[in-house]
Amino acid sequence: MSPTAIGPVSVLISNAGITRDALSPTMREEDFTDVIETNLVGSFRMAKAVSKSMISAKWGRIVFISSIMGFLGSPGQANYASSKAGMLGLTRSLAWELGSRNVTVNMVTPGLIETDMIDAVTDKRRDQLLSQTPLRRTGTVQEVANVVKFLASDDASYVTGAAVPIGGGIGMGQ
């Protein structure tokens, strides 16, 4: 179904994310490209599909859900980290392209959040990540949603091209 079939879209929250973890020397190229295709190219396609109606309306909000791993990297996640890092370039390029039409484009970079995706993280890796997190806890989906809600609102009308970390302080300065 195309966006025009359901009417104009004024807010896009792009939350695509898959993983296919493996160390780079053993990672199948298909697993690398599948993750890039879903996480980065999928976000581009969604933004492209809705941006024309936002430009016509002279108002819109695009919020990409990335990951702190796009800034930090992670063993076995060259594909995932690359896809999420690429979203920064996508975010900032679209912010330039759409800003004069009153369309803001931002991304959030969650850290360790209680979702199904972290069920695959080993206890050892989870403890390691938590030890690098000043708040020493995982975040909640609601904490991410609160920031996304702000970025999608009129309260964030002067925020564009931003990468907002939601990770309890992990990766500060990145």
For residues 97-107, give the mean pLDDT.
98
Identify whether the C-beta of residue 167 lies closer than 8 Å to the C-beta of residue 133: yes
Q: Whole-model pTM?
A: 0.91
As a whole number of angstroms, the distance between CA 88 and CA 51 comes to 18
Q: Tell the burial category of 58 from Cβ atoms under 10 Å away from its Cβ (0-12, 13-18, 19+).
A: exposed
- Per residue in 106-123, pLDDT (tens digit) is 999 999 999 887 777 788
- Per residue in 25-50, pLDDT (tens digit) is 999 999 999 999 999 999 999 999 99
Please tell me which residue in 60, 80, 81, 138 is annotated as part of the active site.
80
Q: Mean pLDDT in the chain?
A: 93
Identify whether the C-beta of residue 105 lies closer than 8 Å to the C-beta of residue 60: no
* 26: phi then psi, degrees, rounded to nearest 5: -110, 0
As a whole number of angstroms, the distance between CA 39 and CA 165 comes to 18
pLDDT at 15 over 90: yes
158 as an active site residue: the answer is no
For residues 49-73, give the mean pLDDT.
96
